[in-house]
Amino acid sequence: MSDLAALGGTPIRTEPYPAWPVYDERDIQAVTDVIKSGRWGGYPYPGPQTAEFARRFAEMQGGGYAVPMANGTVTMEVALRVMNIGWGDEVLVPAYTFQATAAAVMSAGAIPVIVDVDVQTYCMDPIAASHAITPQTKAIIPVHLGAEMSDMDAIMELANQNNLVVIEDCAHAHGAKWRGNGAGTIGHFGSFSLQSSKTLTTGEGGVLLCRTPEFAERAASLIDCGRPHDKAEKNYTMGANYRMTELQAALGNVGLERFPEQANQRETMAAYMDEALSEIPGVRILKRDARHTTRSFYQYVFAIDPEVFKVNNAVICYALEKEGIPCDVEYEAMHHYHLFLDYQHNRKQNFLL
């Protein structure tokens, strides 16, 4: 035991992990070109870099009409607004996610209803979701968390039966596929974040994949200060400036060139982790659903059994950090947030975590 770095021993790894985001001459050139062009911002929307990014992003994900935006939170707010979901409406979100999933619902004026997750994947449990539906429920936001995907067959069936809009939160799922279909192309919308930590990044940024060109036109109006983007429409709608800039899009276009090789590398490393961790008693690697045909890896998530380790996950993370291995206990489950406590308590729900 005393060999652990946390107890004064020598760390297993002293070599730092590679810095992120990565860049090379292509990024520098792309940004330089935009600077020299004089067209830095997002107006008129979309600029040439942004239009190219939208086309190539949808191509990579395998479908949909892409509308690049300022980040991966407003993407979800805009998707709700496109469908006129707002005041008094309820939107199902999973308990285990970054708070942005619920915050976007509140920004649209609707109420996030927190639904428990499946312990095998930590993604929304479709059965718990079915129990949370009320006459006010208008949409459901499954989050594809870490390296997992929500059970999109069950979610879509539930949504179809109850006439709900599905917005996939794909902030962690660039390149992921479910039975060969790209994450974000299965529901009505797919919301992607391009924030600095994400596997495809433009520093800040987001993309909304829309199922129809009409949804995409309305989304483009909402993020472009309400300007009409439908050729037949002459009137402004209520909107704001959530445009992506040309500088961001230029980085995105180079990032897309790099992405396939990085995705392969992540898959190789994750397969190694799956094998190595499955030999350690008390460690549970998450279920690989056969329908999740292409994995993406924002985070490599695994569970530990505190009974076996005799300590909790915070202590294990601390010990791993001391060994030179980055580790995080990650999100606080959302029903613990003060922000949501009153409402959730009133609904008297029980949660797994």
CA distance 80 to 219: 10
Nearest to ligand PLP of 49, 97 (CB atom): 97
| Rounded Cα gap, residues 214 and 216, in angstroms | 5
Beta strand extents in 74-225 (DSSP E only): 90-94, 111-115, 137-140, 165-169, 177-178, 181-182, 189-193, 206-210
- Compute the least distance from the CB of residue 106 to ligand PLP, in Å: 13
Of 169, 224, 246, 289, the residue at the interface with ligand PLP (CB under 6 A) is 169
List phi, psi (to 5°) of 344: -65, -40
Q: Please, which residue, 195 or 237, has the CB nearer to ligand PLP? A: 195
The nearer residue to ligand PLP, 5 or 199, going by C-beta atoms, is 199
Q: How far is CA 176 from the centre of its chain?
A: 11
CB of 232 to ligand PLP, least distance (A): 32
Any idea what the Cα angle at residue 141 is, between residues 146 and 104, rounded to 5°?
A: 95
Interface with ligand PLP, residue 171, by CB under 6 A: yes
Tokens of 33: 């070109």
Of 105 and 143, the one with the shorter C-beta distance to ligand PLP is 143
Stretch that binds ligand PLP, among 106-114, 164-172, 262-270, 338-346 (CB under 6 A): 164-172
Select from 231, 244, 218 the least CA-distant residue to 57: 244
In whole angstroms, the minimum distance from the beta carbon of 195 to ligand PLP comes to: 4
Q: In terms of CB distance, is 5 or 200 closer to ligand PLP?
A: 200
Neighbours of 131 (CB within 10 A): 10
What's the CA gap between 44 and 304, in Å, rounded? 51
Q: Which of 107, 120, 162, 195 binds ligand PLP (CB under 6 A)?
A: 195
User: Which structure tokens are listed for 34?
Assistant: 């935009």
In the complex, least distance from residue 36 CB atom to ligand PLP, rounded to whole angstroms? 28
Q: Which is nearer to ligand PLP, 72 or 182 (CB)?
A: 72
Judged by CB under 6 A, the chain residues 61 through 120 that form the site for ligand PLP are 71-73, 97-98, 100-101
d(CA 131, CA 263): 36
CA distances from residue 213 to 42, 56, 183 in whole angstroms, order as listed? 20, 16, 18
CB of residue 12 vs ligand PLP: minimum separation in angstroms?
29
Interface residue with ligand PLP among 206, 239, 252, 255 (CB under 6 A) is: 206
* Site stretch for ligand PLP (CB under 6 A), options 49-57, 130-138, 169-177, 340-348: 169-177
Return the residue of 54, 82, 140, 143 that touches ligand PLP, per CB under 6 A.
143
Of 315-334, binders to ligand PLP (CB under 6 A) are none
Q: Considering the complex, what minimum distance in angstroms separates the CB of residue 129 from ligand PLP?
A: 17
How far apart (Å, rounded) are the C-alpha atoms in residues 94 and 113? 8
Length of the chain: 353
Q: Which residues bind ligand PLP (CB under 6 A)?
A: 71-73, 97-98, 100-101, 143, 169, 171-172, 193, 195, 206
